[in-house]
Structure 1
Amino acid sequence: MTTVENINRILPGSPEWTELLAGIGSGAKDRDLNDENPFDQVTALKRAGFGTLRLPTELGGAGYTVPQLFSAVIDVARADPIVAHIFRTHFWFTEERLRTPHDPVGQRWLTKVADGKIFGNAFSEKGSLAVGSLVFNTRLLPDPTSGFRLTGEKYYSTGTLFADYLTATATTDHDSVAIVIVPADRTGVRLIDDWDGFGQRRTGTGTTTFTNVAVSAEEVLSDSPYDAEPTPTVQYASLQLYIHAVVAGVLESVVDDGVALLRSRERSFSHATTEKPIDDPLLQRQLGVLASTAYVARAAVLDAAEAIGRATASDTGDGPDAELAAEAQLKVAKVKVHLDDVAPESATRLLELGGASAASRQRNLDRHWRNIRTITLHNPVAYKARVIGENLLHGTALPANAYF
């Protein structure tokens, strides 16, 4: 877990922001190569106020719009997609609280956000239950001394290793679903750094166990029946778009590495069109294609972010406008369907700018493909494409779950 005593705000687009990201990016390749956690880099972003960008200025934030936030996320992912991914649940948590900023409970947690605290995820469980179902083996039961006790085991807990607070889902004694918040260092909480994915390796996406953890009543954010009608929201769309923002950042990093790779080459093949690779029109074309893919990825993510922003602004307390919410969800799904196809291909084509030497383990250029492929597996693209088509043909509503 990282801590920050105060915030010295650095706004995206400023020279200080460029310097901050350059520092984060300079060690990204080697951290991935050596399997090192980016604790210092996360702390630097927390201290710069990255986690407070969406808070209104009157609450101590920067007052950023949804597209402005996603642009900043892409910037961070360009420097290091591991670091960017760590903040994913934090921004979702912040957005959920911003829906009811004057609610005393929401106000309390937004104050924590303003203080530089970040929130991690302890939602998913293994087992035979369908992914995304609202049934959990983790239990939140009444306790006469603390209010409640939380016991269970979670997996894929992205960001928990770096978080100050954990958001966890649990089943209550009256068969409902509760979302609770507990400090990451509370007695009975154990964070296990056991995520063994081939990409996005140091995101703290390991196992989280809760053993008879004390939970007070004010730390229970919601308590809803399994079959309750889902609250209208576009924050899940925002949660999904965050993944694609990370991918867009990786694609920009692919371009950066492509430029550096071509500039570093002193010789080419005997049958190449030019003596120097940097002057070869075929390689220049290849680099141009990579740059174009990265540009379209950023543009698409920000366009979907604009749609989320419009839907969010329409929410006066009873949920966003249904048509605006559906438009945002569909745009996010379309971004995924396209990027899942072109992004891994770009990461593969990068290697062709360098030939066999580009496969050097020390260059670690394969990390781009590994990171893209891993993060795109968060939800299956085939189902997203099918939902888009069904909606076009029949006007079918999108599934009401966290994957849309």
Structure 2
Amino acid sequence: MPVLPVSADYPIHPPHAELIHDEAQALAVAHRVAAVLLEQDAERDRTRQVPADIVDLYSNSGLWGISVPREFGGAQVSYAVLAQVIAIISAADPSLGQIPQNHYCLLEDIRLQGTPEQQAYFFGLALQGHRFANALSETGGKNVQDIQATIRRQGDGYVINGRKGYCTGSLYAHWLAVLALDEAQNAQLAFVQRGTEGLVVIDDWDSMGQRTTSSGTVLAEALRVPAFNLFPTHRSYDSPTLAGPFAQLTTAAIDAGIARAALRDTVQFVQQFARPWIDAGVEKASEDPLTIIQIGALDIRLEAAEALLERAGKALDAARPAPDEDNVAHASLAVARAKVLTTEIAIEASNKLFELGGTRSTLKKHNFDRHWRNARVHTLHDPVRWKYHVVGNWLLNGTKPPRHDWS
């Protein structure tokens, strides 16, 4: 008989999150948590290990509940501020910045498609500090929308079977949200508590970057789900909603954080350790005119990327009260522009670190290559070349962006 896989072991402690009341508090807490995460960022990357107390500190800070609507007890921070929070955390440790990215998207799914009873229950869990992770994508299909996992009615509940990949945060999660297709080929999203029989988390993520995101495999094997835990997520794309641009905004924020981290370490290394080129005629690398120019150029491009990120967040905020075809399209276009620049500056800044830092910046003890590895891996989330197409097609032909998670 085949040996059934065993779910990965990780200490999952009962949550006890603080309650964040407003945007100013959210930003202050984000800076405080980021300071802690930065302390061992390089070491966590080296070992591929995240101590449970670090993940608990992060989720118990209250940051994972800041997008919960006010009527359910949350701060309901603006999309623009949420992007800021994600970027602040990601500048300290982008792997940990990424693990609640899908958590926030799942809260958006609950807001968009949940019944009042479902919203009260699952928003309440988020405010308590429960961590939600995704089991959405699959590997090996024709494209990212080729979903083979199935969900079928059985008695008073449902049963899911399938294999999921890129399940970010799955190792650390209290709950997994599993995407599967029903008999009508409509996408249904099922929230399943960690430890449920038939739910298997495999800790097999071995990418060169974003090494501690736990974006590995999740198996659903005759996994039973109560009807109450099911959300008709396909409806989020049957009509105009902010589900797609929101997901893209959060990924762009992570890339902005990676760029901040790379530029921060570049400046510090040039100031402290790099040597000027012999033809510069100066005493310190920080006085080298060509280095000064390139540092200035990186900072300007990062500022431009962050300005577009903020503008994109505000476009989503403007559309939220009454999303329609036009303002959702405007939000998607704003996010597309931001994502182009955050992608490009993350890769450029993490590459320039070595050019401006010199050979000694490549020593293993610094582990600066983690910035480039993180940038290169995370920006593969979806092809940024299609963002140029989305914007150009709108300007030339008036074609609105497509409605899906990557637009």
Contact 1:265 1:278 survives alignment (8 Å): no
- Alpha carbons 1:158, 1:203 under 8 Å: kept: yes
Residue 37 of structure 1, aligned match among 14, 26, 50? 50
Aligned 1:260-339 pairs, distance under 5 A = 260-265=268-273, 267-314=275-322, 320-339=323-342
Q: After TM superposition, what 4+ stretches of structure 1 lie above 6 angstroms from structure 2? A: none
**2:248 corresponds to which residue?**
240
Distance change in 2, residues 1:217/1:12 (3 Å) = closer
Residue 375 of structure 2 is matched in structure 1 by 372
Shift of 1:66: 1.2
Give the length in aligned residue pairs.
393
Query: Tell me, what secondary structure is at the counterpart of 1:12?
Result: helix
Task: Spell out the pairing of 1:1-400 with structure 2 (5 A cutoff).
Answer: 2-9=12-19, 11-14=25-28, 17-37=30-50, 39-99=52-112, 103-133=116-146, 136-144=147-155, 147-222=157-232, 230-265=238-273, 267-314=275-322, 320-400=323-403
Say if 1:138 and 1:150, in contact at 8 Å, map to a contact too. yes
Deviates more, 1:175-184 or 1:47-56: 175-184
Name the stretch that deviates more: 276-285 or 370-379: 276-285
Judged with a 3 Å threshold, the aligned counterparts in structure 2 of structure 1 residues 250 and 128 are, in CA distance, closer, same or farther, namely: closer
- Larger CA deviation: 101-110 vs 328-337: 101-110
Q: In structure 2, what is the equivalent of residue 317 of structure 1?
A: none
One-letter code of the match for 1:130? N
Distance 1:160 1:384, change over 3 A: same
Report Cα offsets for 1:39-62 as digits up to 9, x if no partner. Answer: 433211211100111124452322
In structure 2, give the amino acid aligned to 1:137: Q
| CA offsets 1:196-244 (integer angstroms, 9 cap, x no match) | 221111111000001111211111112769xx97132112111011111
Q: How many angstroms apart in 1 are the aligned matches of 2:192 and 2:119?
A: 15
**Alpha-carbon distance between aligned partners in 1 of 2:260 and 2:281, rounded to the nearest angstrom:** 27
Relative to 1, partners in 2 of residues 1:224 and 1:348: Cα closer, same or farther, differing over 3 Å? Answer: closer
Separation (CA, whole Å) in 2 of partners of 1:386 and 1:366: 31
SS of the residue corresponding to residue 156 of structure 1 reads: strand
Which amino acid is 1:363 matched to? H
Contact 1:4 1:43 in 2 (8 A): no
What is the TM-score normalised by the length of structure 1?
A: 0.90
CA offset at residue 32 of structure 1?
A: 0.9
Give the alignment's TM-score, normalised by structure 2.
0.90
Give the deviation of 1:267 after TM superposition: 4.5
Give secondary structure in 2 for the equivalent of 1:178: strand
1:62-120 superposed Cα distances (whole Å, 9 cap, x missing partner)? 23111111111110011110001001111111122234677222222111112111211
Aligned counterparts of 1:287 and 1:387: Cα–Cα separation in 2: 31
User: Equivalent residue of 1:271, what SS?
Assistant: helix
* One-letter amino acid of the structure 2 residue matched with residue 64 of structure 1: V
Contact kept in structure 1, 2:302 and 2:342, CA below 8 Å: no
In the alignment, the residues of structure 2 paired with residue 299 and residue 63 of structure 1 have an alpha-carbon distance, to the nearest angstrom, of 22
Q: Describe the SS at the equivalent of 1:313.
A: coil
| Fraction of identical pairs, as percent | 29
Q: 1:249 offset after TM fit, Å?
A: 0.8
Structure 2 Cα separation of the partners of residues 141 and 101 of structure 1:
20
Is there any run of 5+ residues in structure 2 with no aligned partner, and where?
A: 1-9
Question: Are the structure 2 counterparts of residues 200 and 266 from structure 1 closer, same or farther at C-alpha, using a change threshold of 3 Å?
Answer: closer
Post-superposition offset of 1:268: 3.8
Residues 1:229 and 1:297: Cα distance change in structure 2 (over 3 Å): closer
Change (3 A) 1:288 1:40: farther
Q: Any conservation in 2 of the 1:240–1:332 contact (CA below 8 Å)?
A: yes
SS in 1 for 2:232: strand
With over 3 angstroms needed to count, the CA separation of the structure-2 counterparts of 1:267 and 1:382, relative to structure 1, is closer
Distance 2:274 2:377 in 1: 34
Native 8 Å contact 1:101 1:107 kept in 2: no
**d(CA) in 2 for partners of 1:178 and 1:9?**
30
Q: Is the 8 A contact 1:4 1:47 kept in 2?
A: no
Retained in 2: the 8 A contact 1:3–1:117? Answer: no
**Counterpart of 1:284 in structure 2: which amino acid?**
I
CA distance in 2, matches of 1:323, 1:364: 45
| Cα distance in structure 2, aligned partners of 1:19 and 1:110 | 24
| Deviates most, 90-99 or 242-251 | 90-99
**Structure 1 position 382, deviation (Å):** 2.2
